[in-house]
Structures are given as structure tokens and as C-alpha cells.
Amino acid sequence: MKMKKIDIYEVGPRDGFQNIKEYIPEATKKEIIDGLIASGIKHIEITSFVSPKAIPQLRDAQDIAKACLETYPDVDFLALVPNLRGAQTAADVGIQRIAYVVSLSESHNKANINRTHEQSYEALKEIMTQCPQLDIILDLATTFGCPFEGKFLPEQVVEFLKQYVELGVKQVCLCDTIGIANPRQVKDIIAAVWEAYPQLDLQVHIHDTRNMGVACTLAAIEAGVTKVQSTLGGLGGCPFAPGASGNLATEDLVYTLNEMGYDTGVQFEPILQLAKQEVKAIPTGVYSGHHIRIDQTSKCFR
């Protein structure tokens, strides 16, 4: 008998690919996305609508988005946007859900997107005013700690989110940007946020810097979260956060949840084989901030 449904949000085509210096051919990106969908993944952050000068790897954002939307009209595709222009481009190509990043740490916010907290708030307000049709997920970076400012208390998270909830934000992803969270901290912050804002739809995005990705994601699930993010092969990591390594690997997450009886809707063997194909298609030598090894027990890539 299956336990509760857990929705896995695959963010590799954006978060995983963006740090790779050598351009990944558009055909390769599409093949990986095809494989993700074939394995049962229903929610995918496929790209980011940013300046090609800022992230050359994602210069094909519009082509990738258009192709995916045309081929898979029933899949939930998301894109990250940094500003109004990005949001408008996303809407123009047919994307209906976007992620918008702001960091709980103002130091990291300035390093990551070159904005103060006030500027980030005003930019999101502008997006919500000009593009009211878009479904927005607020990605709260450094929720569990910052390389510049250290860890934050649950009440700091709650207080920071107040103006965004009042603005109309309904979905928030709590992000462990550098992978320093622990299960108890995850549960405490989720409990505090939901006590203050029970109407919020919460997700978590956990990095695997200290091999705590699965443990912290399970803690979030035990706290009631049913939407969790990961990347195929564990690719990714914030280039503006010293010490950040890869994300939680989708294949590790799928294996763990399926074995525990959760209903992910994702098949483990296909997702594992896809991770292996990804490694062959994207030379490990060009990975930034992440290494891949094979776990001797599950044969999963981290």
C-alpha cells in the first residue's frame, strides 16, 4: 500500500545545467528532458530567462521552452526569472509558472542577483502587477544558512516572509543554498512558517554538501511538505555561495522514497539509467562545484 503522494520537482535542466561552462547542445538537453518525463517526472524547471551574457549556458531558453511546451502540453514546466523582462519573455513563450529568487541573507542577495532586499521586493511587485497571469513560486535562498551571515532562526524566516505573503505570494520554496541544514532545523523552520502562514504552499530545495540531502528532505516530508526539489545526477550549486556543492540527486531521492513506500510516480531504474547517460553526455571535467561518485549500495549517482 502506497503512502502519501510526493511530487518531485526536477530542476536540473536549469539549476544543474547553468553552472556547466561548456555549452550543452540543445538536442542533448531535450533528450534529458524527454527521459525525465518518460520516467514519470511531472514537474520540471526547464530553464531561466536571463541575459545570455549572465548565463551563456541558457541562451537557448526560448527554444527549449517552446519545444517542451509543444511536445508535452500536460507537463508542469517552470522557469526561473530574475526580473520583469524575464517574466514577460516566459509568458510570451507560454510558460505559466515561474520561480523568483530572493535570499534571506542580504549579503547573498547582493552577491547572487546584485540587489538589496528592497530592490528584490519591488522587482517581484512589478512582475506581479505587470504579469498577473503568472503562477509564482518564491524561492527563498539561504533559508537554512548563509556563507556570509551564518544560520537564521525560524522567527527570522517568518518575519522576512511577512511582506511577501501580504503582497500575495502563495507558494514558497525553502532553499538550503549551501547544504548546511539539519533535519531538526528543517522541521523547526517549516513548523514556524506554517504556524504563521498556514495558507502557504511550501516546497523544499536541499543541497547535498554534507550528504544530508535525503535526510533533510525526509524531515520536510515528515513535517508535511509534499513537494520536493532535486536534480538529476546531483548537478548544480550556487556559484555565488562559497562552499556550495551539488543538489540532492533525483535518483537518490526517488530510490529512497519509493523504497519507503511513498507514491512518487517515478520509476527508479529509468531515472538511474538517465543519470548515467547524463554523465556520458556531459563530461564530468566541466562540472562546476560538484563531483559524481557511485554509491556502493544503491549504485545511485550523487
Instruction: Tell me how far apart the terminal alpha carbons of the chain are, to the nearest angstrom.
Output: 29
User: Does residue 238 have an active-site annotation?
Assistant: yes
Q: Annotated catalytic residue: which of 146, 173, 216, 238?
A: 238
Place of cell 540587489: 115
3-state secondary structure of 254: helix
Q: For residues 243 and 178, is the Cβ–Cβ distance under 8 A?
A: yes
The sign of the dihedral angle between the CA atoms of 115, 118, 121, 123 is: negative
Per the rule left: phi > 0, alpha: psi between -120 and 50, beta: everything else, 166 is alpha
The secondary structure of residue 232, as a DSSP letter, is G
Q: For residues 233 and 16, is the Cβ–Cβ distance under 8 A?
A: yes
Task: Give burial (CB, 10 Å; 0-12/13-18/19+) of 262.
Answer: buried
Catalytic residues: 238
